[in-house]
Structure 1
Amino acid sequence: MRQIRIRPWHGGLVVLLAACVTAVVLIADNQPNRSATPLPGVADEPRGPITMVSLGDSSVSGEGTGIYTEGTDGQNGDWCHRSPKATVHQTSVPGIEKTVNLACSGAPTQQVALGPHTRYGESSQAARLRELAKTHEIENVVVAVGANDDPHFSRHLNTCVKAWFGGPLCTTQMRQNWTSTIDAMVPKVVTALQDVRTVLRQVGYEREDYQLVVQSYPSPISPKIPNNIRNMDGCPFRAADLDWIRSTGVPELSRGMREAAQAVDARFLDLSRAGYGHEACTGGTNASNEWFTRLTVRWDDLDDVDRASHAAQESFHLNVAGHAQIGRCLTEFLADTTSEAACREGTDGDLHPTVLP
């Protein structure tokens, strides 16, 4: 069994323990015939740098920042698009000495969970977490995964872009079975989260040694996009599709993520309304206050047969500012003790954790 190391959220316990030790010392001083026995140590040296880790898909890998770690921007077929500007690297949690990003754009739950499934040649994220935990002191694990399973959220967004040219609304089919689709996703997310707990237990971690946080997804688009930019120059979507995705699709996806978090006793951070007022194209001709990328095409990649199919991969994801805002909210959430919260914009214009209904 792994010895207990004092954690930031153990402050109250430390105070109580100190009081008890003081009482023992006072009693011992009043009974000189008893020989004093040193108390056993309550902490040991960490196995490595105190570390915060992110696992999951493009919402946490750093997709959309435009700045990617060497080896994950198409080299040798790896398009995981991990970024030094990803959310985990834009946190400032007291005591954390290192942040590690294991997420991969497009990853399904199978690639986060234990097993043979790979993504762009990369193996199980949980298995890599296990190896990392042998040489690093894992303090926080943040997971966002599930949207690429039954919901196929990115695929649906692509369909919505095509629907802009004509034909039925892209959300017509989604409306018919979206709840059952999310219900089918939940157990897969639960399995991935259970595997995260399993690998940490295998290398000696108890549940109280780390925090497991599940993040949901923000809506990258909004019905408030001005008509003059609701086209191929920015956000080619139809109004009815935009309205349903923001008001129903994303909140229902968040509901499923919340259920998965509760099933494994993980903390939950709701992002379904985190981007309100800062979605792609909501700034019209001025994108400076937006937290998501618009339709983004790497034109040079279209001339490369190996890169052309990924030329628009960055579209409608958190940008650098968006990842920074989520990182700010996550930092504050980790410093608190509430099991659930929702990131919402405060009067200062930044995201902060608020009470989740």
Structure 2
Amino acid sequence: MRPSGWLVLFLVLVVVTFGLTGDHRFPAPRPLPGPPEDAPRVIVAMGDSTISGEGAGDYETGTNGEKGNWCHRSANASIFQVRVPGVEKAYNLACSGAPSAQVGLGDVEQYTEISQAKQLARIAARNRVTAVVVASGANDDPAFSHVLDSCVQAWAGRELPCSQSVGPRWERRVDKMIPKLTNALRDIRTVMHNAGYQRGDYSLVVQSYAAPVGTDVARGLQDLSGCPFLSEDLRWVEEEAVPVLTAGVRTAARNVDARFLDLSRAGIGREACTSERDPDSEWFRRLAVEWNDLQHDDRATHALQESFHPNANGHEQFGQCLSEFLTSVDRAAACLPGREGNLHAAASPE
């Protein structure tokens, strides 16, 4: 072996020896920056209309159509109903109609707003985020709100029942959603990691969707006065569409090792149009028309936007259930009514 070869072998042995013993002088990796220890403890909501507060009224200034922003973030949204010891503030980044790409780090804008994950980065740097709660996926391939619109059109006789027109392709549409939601959730993990958080420093909670309508429509309300759906479509939404969508969201949560909160049965018996005499007992908006908006070209297309979303009562209940889940050690739970009628987080398999 030539002298240069011996020199190379010697250097390799030195590096290996010091590497195995751990007695080397290579500098340790610099720790990632993190929020100061005395930063306020906060929770953050991200996603679409079901968590932004669509349907709950009292919308944040700037999100009720001003300059094209229809995110409809409500002061009554579920994230503001959460009570967790030590948490000082809640942030709502969710935006009505947002697809998963806008929740993640994509370049997609929703109603003039940039990526929610990029907005999260600023919050995570200034505060100590203890939980990020995400409701997303329905505005991807499932296009759930548009499906409900087609169900209404079917009631009017303008289309086939949505159980027939959409039902046969529904599972495939949900399957296409899963990787998109998974990527958005991974982006959230990346943002938190880059802000200096370890996974044990915060909870990433993914929640599913509740059925806004069901088969128990009260007499006289299965029309334009409340819930204009065909009976077969009401059954399909409750028994097939929402359970399949829930399974897809659960899979995405599992893909990123997130906690999962199942809302699929949270509204049973409290859906829109279930009460003939007491609409306030319902947790979802009926067919809702903002008549004043119809008089303005820039607002008319959003006049029905609140329809079939959780109302303020629903958000209050979802927030109470979320509070119980966040203060538990359960990896997964379902929001189910207790004997007194309020929602509680019941531990369930992941």
Q: TM-score, normalised by structure 1?
A: 0.87
- From 298, 311, 314, the equivalent of 1:322 is 314
Alignment of 1:155-166 (within 5 A): 155-166=146-157
The 3 A distance-change label for structure 1 pair 4 and 135 is closer
| Contact in 2 for aligned 1:268/1:339 (Cα 8 Å) | yes
- Cα distance, 1:235 vs. partner? 0.6
Are residue 225 (structure 1) and residue 217 (structure 2) matched? yes
| Contact in 2 for aligned 1:4/1:209 (Cα 8 Å) | no
- Cα distance, 1:129 vs. partner? 0.2
- Cα distance, 1:351 vs. partner? 0.3
Counterpart in 2 of 1:129?
120
* Farther off after superposition, 169-178 or 317-326: 169-178
Counterpart in 2 of 1:106?
97
Counterpart in 2 of 1:92?
83
* Farther off after superposition, 284-293 or 259-268: 284-293
- From 305, 308, 316, the equivalent of 2:297 is 305
* Farther off after superposition, 169-178 or 335-344: 169-178
For 2:37 and 2:336, the matched residues in 1 are separated by 38
| Contact in 1 for aligned 2:43/2:89 (Cα 8 Å) | yes
Counterpart in 1 of 2:252?
260
Counterpart in 1 of 2:13?
none
| Contact in 1 for aligned 2:34/2:196 (Cα 8 Å) | no
- Cα distance, 1:174 vs. partner? 2.0
- For residues 12-46 of structure 1, give each alpha carbon's deviation from its aligned partner in whole angstroms, at most 9, with x where no partner exists: xxxxxxxxxxxxxxxxxxxxxxxxxxxxxxxx623
| Contact in 1 for aligned 2:34/2:197 (Cα 8 Å) | no
- From 276, 280, 292, the equivalent of 2:272 is 280
- For residues 253-274 of structure 1, give each alpha carbon's deviation from its aligned partner in whole angstroms, at most 9, with x where no partner exists: 0000100011000000000000
Alignment of 1:339-354 (within 5 A): 339-354=331-346
| Contact in 2 for aligned 1:110/1:117 (Cα 8 Å) | yes
Are residue 234 (structure 1) and residue 234 (structure 2) matched? no
- From 241, 249, 253, the equivalent of 2:241 is 249
- Cα distance, 1:49 vs. partner? 1.2
- Cα distance, 1:168 vs. partner? 2.0
Query: Could you tell me which amino acid in structure 1 is paired with residue 44 of structure 2?
Result: V
Calculate the aligned-residue CA RMSD, in Å: 1.4
| Contact in 1 for aligned 2:59/2:73 (Cα 8 Å) | yes
Query: Could you tell me which amino acid in structure 1 is paired with residue 261 of structure 2?
Result: L
| Contact in 1 for aligned 2:34/2:195 (Cα 8 Å) | no
- Secondary structure (helix, strand or coil) at the match of 1:236 reads coil
- Cα distance, 1:4 vs. partner? 9.7
| Contact in 2 for aligned 1:58/1:103 (Cα 8 Å) | yes
- From 277, 280, 283, the equivalent of 1:291 is 283
- From 135, 138, 147, the equivalent of 2:138 is 147
Query: Could you tell me which amino acid in structure 2 is paired with residue 312 of structure 1?
Result: L
- For residues 282-338 of structure 1, give each alpha carbon's deviation from its aligned partner in whole angstroms, at most 9, with x where no partner exists: 012321210000000010110001000001100000000000000000000011111
- For residues 89-144 of structure 1, give each alpha carbon's deviation from its aligned partner in whole angstroms, at most 9, with x where no partner exists: 01111110010000000000010110211001100000010011111110000000
| Contact in 1 for aligned 2:32/2:194 (Cα 8 Å) | no
For 1:185 and 1:115, the matched residues in 2 are separated by 15
For 1:123 and 1:185, the matched residues in 2 are separated by 21
Counterpart in 2 of 1:188?
180
- Secondary structure (helix, strand or coil) at the match of 1:100 reads strand
- Cα distance, 1:2 vs. partner? 5.8
| Contact in 1 for aligned 2:33/2:195 (Cα 8 Å) | no
Corresponding pairs, count: 318
- Cα distance, 1:3 vs. partner? 9.1
Q: Which has the larger radius of gyration?
A: 2
| Contact in 1 for aligned 2:227/2:273 (Cα 8 Å) | yes
**% identical aligned pairs:** 49
For 2:245 and 2:322, the matched residues in 1 are separated by 19
Q: TM-score, normalised by structure 2?
A: 0.89
- Secondary structure (helix, strand or coil) at the match of 2:74 reads coil
- Secondary structure (helix, strand or coil) at the match of 1:269 reads strand
Are residue 115 (structure 1) and residue 106 (structure 2) matched? yes
Which runs of structure 1 show a deviation greater than 4 angstroms over 4 or more consecutive aligned residues? 2-5
Are residue 64 (structure 1) and residue 55 (structure 2) matched? yes
- For residues 22-79 of structure 1, give each alpha carbon's deviation from its aligned partner in whole angstroms, at most 9, with x where no partner exists: xxxxxxxxxxxxxxxxxxxxxx623x21100000000000000121000000000000
- Secondary structure (helix, strand or coil) at the match of 1:65 reads coil
